[in-house]
Structure 1
Amino acid sequence: MMATPESPSLPLLDGHTIPQLGLGVYKVPDAEAARVVQTAIEAGYRHVDTAALYANERGVGDGVRASGVPRAEVFVTTKVWDDDHGYDATLRAFDVSLAALGFDYVDLYLIHWPVPSKDLYVDTWRALEAIARDGRARSIGVSNFAPHHIDRLLAETDTVPVLNQVELHPWLPQRAVREYDAAHGILTEAWSPLARGRLVGDPVLEAIASRHGKSAAQVVIRWHLQLGNVVIPKSVTAERIRQNIDVFDFELDADDLAAIGSLETGTRTGMNPDEH
């Protein structure tokens, strides 16, 4: 019987760690989330990324409990949505998320988008700082923040985000964001790591995959890992969930990495943070 793959963990600024590879559950219906999460944990995942927007926090919590793996061994992230920006609204939104998950704490709580048009993300961040002080979020970070958004947090608050989750894939490698994050000790996490599946079938990736006896999706996930990104591929299919974590038995060489680097186009599958 094959050993269950296990993701390495990366250190966070605050002394905690995060499994480098996790399961994303965007657009997974709440009724399916428990099965998907339980399948992933059985396949070796120890990191699940959800959000209030996804309306599946209850299912995620149920899946963690159904897995039989102790809560302390599964890293769970959720996020505050745009409608709940502001200090008091964020505190209320966190209470709702925590109750839906059925947990005493989350491992990581993120601001989902900066929403600069509202100009409330600094107040929202102060609420996250309070939640972290209370121990109800072990770590706090941001999502879809450009460097200038984080600059404001650093100038006006006391806590550096441990992580910045952004759209990131070979079409959009986010070099400037990754360099900024690294310079400040912030981990970069990739959402839409496969460009919502649109990269699968790319001939460059298929050729690399063929050489390694892997799929194009596995090649892209491996690329993320070798860049040092945290990566959260999403699937509801048991076989694909298992394939997505089966990426620790091969390594991309310099030629592979150069070929993948040639795919950059700047194409986004989601919104630009300054326009959201």
Structure 2
Amino acid sequence: MTYSGVFVDLDGTVWRGRDPVPGVADAVRALRERGVPLVFVTNNTGVRRDDFHARLDALGIDPDAGEVVTAAWATAEYLAEYRPNASVHVMGQDVVADELAAAGLTVSESGTADVVVVGYDERVSMDRLTGALRAFGPGTDFVATNRDSTTPHEDGPMPGAGAFVAAVEEMTDHDPLVVGKPSTRMADVAADILGVPLDECLMVGDNLHTDVLMGDRAGMDTALVLTGVSDRADIETTDITPTHVLDSIADVPTLFEN
């Protein structure tokens, strides 16, 4: 098969916790040797892209192997394009606010705002929920970095961004525009980096409901790897059908063999 680019998830695909998936560095190297460009896509909003590059480097993956697109950065890119002069209230991690500011947007900490951005927030409190509620005024847009129901942790799952988004949704009766996976807005940002059409790309990830669903919605071929959230049994309980099912990312280069 021939693909013009490959999108690669991180958590559960490249690594599990702090441990790399066996064979991941060799797989990335094999794709690069074939001239296949990569982009890494993650709904994680608590880690800066430079830190992700450093972590990939520590695993033996050349940091130039591909750009990292986080839901925080994709949200900032989206708002910089469609609401460039907006004031933005953030209920989320500091990385989100930093990405918005770096994109030239005004981050507002109190009062009403043009846009309210909500994502995973490890400092959630009554004050922060109240601040988000009071940031809504006539015409305020509601944007979610992503709606992951849980987030992985070494001690077990923890609430994901979706829990915080749902709280604001319930308080305000507003439906959010979602940027991260499985929204195709994330795919559009990644495709722009590669400079190739989405329907010529392969999405590789461990989660049927985020990675594979985004690929389906964007018209991409998809590869579910069995090193993270979803397994073969899950495929039977949903109408989301991956193009390929692989044991791990180490098997991706085999898709390019004649």
TM-score range, shorter chain: 0.3 to 0.5
More strand as a share of residues: 2
Structure-2-length-normalised TM-score:
0.36
Structure-1-length-normalised TM-score:
0.34
